[in-house]
Amino acid sequence: MKILVLVSQTQDTEAKIHVSSSGDSIDTGGMKWIMNPYDEFAVEEAIQTKEKHGGEVVIISIGPDRVLETIRQALAMGADSAVHIKGDGFAETDSFTVGKVIGGEIKKLGEFDIIFTGMKIIDEESGQVGVQVAEELGIPHVSLVSKVIEVDPAGKKAVCQKEIDGGHVTVEVPLPCLITCPDAMNEPRYASLPGIMKAKKKPLTVVEAGDINLGELGLSAEALGKDGARVKTTQMKVPEIERKLTIIKGSDEPMVKGEEVERSAEELIKLLREEAKVI
């Protein structure tokens, strides 16, 4: 089997976010970057599928030079090779164009059986790239798969389980297909020391953004970057949290035992209903 995994890089979930001076983006100076957490589940699912059926796992990632660190992590986990679509302008490129670019490079890889990717990217909560890649390739996709029940290379099909309100649904899909992976789908393995050492020697193909024929993809020269994006961020703000403290004081007048507690409770309920509006 030939199994592909779309992997993205995002800001560390514990990083402190600062808005840039332009007011429409995040200041990434000195920021730590990690593999998109949902993509870790996709890599693990791909490796488990290879362990069951044989074949190879190819990582595909898009972004600047720093993405190489994330690619190496996926290779250290057990993937066999990788394709790095390298360019500095992809961070501000819309999901439609990113999907078409990735899809175009996948077509050059020849036949494949299945693509795994995370259900979304946590930086902007985008869950569109995987679906757009499937559309570009003309293959079916199954989103938010909680469990891959069966992959049948000979029968050219996969059987997946999706969670729905109050239960789950089983979906059978022909191969090749694309599957997006949520959290808790599996338990991603840690990269071992031997795996890290081997990752440095595994095949890595670099595709420069400037070498991509955008015309063949039906894209204009301005498609890569902010100017050609169909969706633009015009303003970004860090939420301001207003904290207010109200102290309910007891009465100075003498009261029957328990009466003061009852009166304070009534005042608390009133505040929660009329001011806090939580009940």
Handedness of CA 32, 37, 230, 211 (dihedral sign): positive
- Domains parsed from the chain with CATH numbers: 2-217 (3.40.50.620), 242-279 (no CATH)
**pLDDT means over runs of 10, the chain (279 residues):** 95 82 80 92 96 96 94 96 93 89 95 95 85 95 93 94 88 96 90 92 94 91 82 81 76 63 84 81
Can you read off the two tokens belonging to residue 187? 């338990």
For position 251, what pLDDT does the model report? Answer: 64
For position 106, what pLDDT does the model report? Answer: 96
For position 254, what pLDDT does the model report? Answer: 61
Angle at 97 between CA 94 and CA 102, to 5 degrees: 120
Segment 8-67, tens digit of pLDDT: 999 888 878 788 888 877 877 888 899 999 999 999 999 999 999 999 999 999 999 999
Nearest to 114 by CA among 87, 84, 135, 134: 134
Can you read off the two tokens belonging to residue 167? 């239960």
Q: Is the pTM for the entire model greater than 0.85? A: no
Segment 130-148, tens digit of pLDDT: 999 999 999 999 999 999 9
For position 19, what pLDDT does the model report? Answer: 83
* Residues with Cβ within 8 Å of residue 12, at least 6 apart in sequence: 31, 32, 33, 34
